[in-house]
Amino acid sequence: MKNINKEKVKQYILTHIKDNELVAKTVDTFKISKSSVYNYLNELVNEGIIEKNQRGTYQTVSKDYEYVYLNNELSEDKIFDNDIAKHVNMYEKNVFSIWRYAFTEMMNNAIEHSHAKGIIVNVHVDAVSTLISIFDNGIGIFNNIKEFVKKEENKDITLEEAAQLLFAGKFTTAKSMHSGEGIFFTSHLMDSFLICSDKVTFSRTPFNEFQISLDGCVKGTWVFMLLNNHSKKTTKEVFNRFSSVEEGFIKTQIPIAHLFPNGSPVSRSEARRLGELVLKFKEIDLDFTNVEELGQAFCHELFIVWQARNPEKQLNILNANEDVLNMINRVKNTK
C-alpha cells in the first residue's frame, strides 16, 4: 500500500507541477509533511523526470522531436508507424489508439487538402502529456473552406464563419473522399485541440497552454493536439457518445462561447446560422459554458421558430447559468 500511495503522490505532483502552491496543496491533499513532499520532488529530479528552473520552481523535463516531409505521395499511416508511434507506444492501449486515430486524420488533411509543398511535425513529450503539432505551408484550412463555399454555394463568408462550419461535424470540401468527421472526433478525443490559420482559430477548449502567438499563424495551417499520457478516454467511448451502429453520426455538440466570438449571441441571424449548422443531426447538445447571457431574439429564433420547423430535432441545454436558463424558459413559455 505504501508504494501505491507513493506513486499516487508523485503522479499528483507531476499533474500539478505548474501550481505555485504545489507543496502546500500536496501536503493538504495527502496529509503528509513538507519534508516528504520535498523528498518526492528530489526523487523525481534524480529520475530525470523533473528539474528545477532558474526561478527555483520545478518543471517537467521534456523532449522535442521534429520531422519534415515533402508533400509527395505521403501516407499518413506509414508516417505514424515509422516516426510517431515510438513516442506514444509506451502508454496504455487507449492512449496509443487515440493518437493513431487523431494523428492520421489530421496528417491526411494536411496531405490531401492543403496543397502544401511541405509538412512539419513536432512532438513534445514530458511525463504528464504529449503535444503534437502539424504545420503545412499550403492554402490555409479556412481559406480552403471559404473558396469551397464560394464555388459550391456562390456565397461569400468570412474566415471566422469558415471556422464555425467545423464545429458540428460532417463538413468537408471533398465529399466523395471524406465524411467530415475527423476534426470533430479528434477535437473531442484530445484534452486540448487547436487549428490556427490566417490569425483565425478553431478550438473547443482554451488554447493558452500551447503558448502560441496568433501573429505567427498567418501562412498555412497549424494543428495542435494535447493529450494526457495517462488519459482514461477511449475512441470507443467518444464515438459512442455521438454515434449509433444503426444510424451512424447522429449527435453533435456545439460550444456556444467558441462558436460566437462575443460569447453571448443575441441576434436572429446568429440563431439561423446555428440552425443551419446542425440540420444534419437528430440530437444537438448546446454547451453554454462561459456564456453569460443570451438575447431574446436569438432564443426565440432558435427555440421557437427553428424548433417548430424541425420538430424531430432534439436540443439539449448543457452548462447554462441561471440568466441563460431564465431567458430560454421565458421565451419558451411565451404564448
Question: CA 144, CA 163: separation in Å to the nearest integer?
Answer: 10
The residues with which 157 forms a beta bridge, in sequence order, are: none
**44 sits in which H/E element:** helix 34-46
Q: pLDDT value at position 177? A: 60
User: Which has the closest alpha carbon to 120: 183, 53, 69?
Assistant: 69
Residues of the chain with CATH 3.30.750: 250-332
User: Which has the closest alpha carbon to 69: 100, 98, 103?
Assistant: 103
Which parts of the chain have pLDDT scores under 70? Answer: 1-4, 174-179, 206-216, 335
Amino acid letter for position 216: G
Q: Residue written as cell 493536439?
A: 225
Q: pLDDT value at position 121? A: 96
Residues 6+ apart with CB under 8 A from 108: 76, 182
Amino acid letter for position 173: T
Amino acid letter for position 313: K
Q: Which CATH class is domain 63-235?
A: alpha beta
Q: Which CATH class is domain 2-60?
A: mainly alpha
Q: pLDDT value at position 2? A: 44
Residues of the chain with CATH 1.10.10: 2-60
pLDDT single digits (tens) 1-10: 344 478 889 8
Q: pLDDT value at position 4? A: 45
| 186 Rama sector, left if φ>0, alpha if ψ -120 to 50, beta otherwise | alpha
The whole model's pTM is what?
Answer: 0.86
Residues of the chain with CATH 3.30.565.10: 63-235
Q: What is the DSSP letter of 204?
A: S
CATH number listed for the domain at residues 250-332 = 3.30.750
What distances in angstroms separate CA 236 from CA 4, 244, 261, one per listed residue? 29, 11, 32
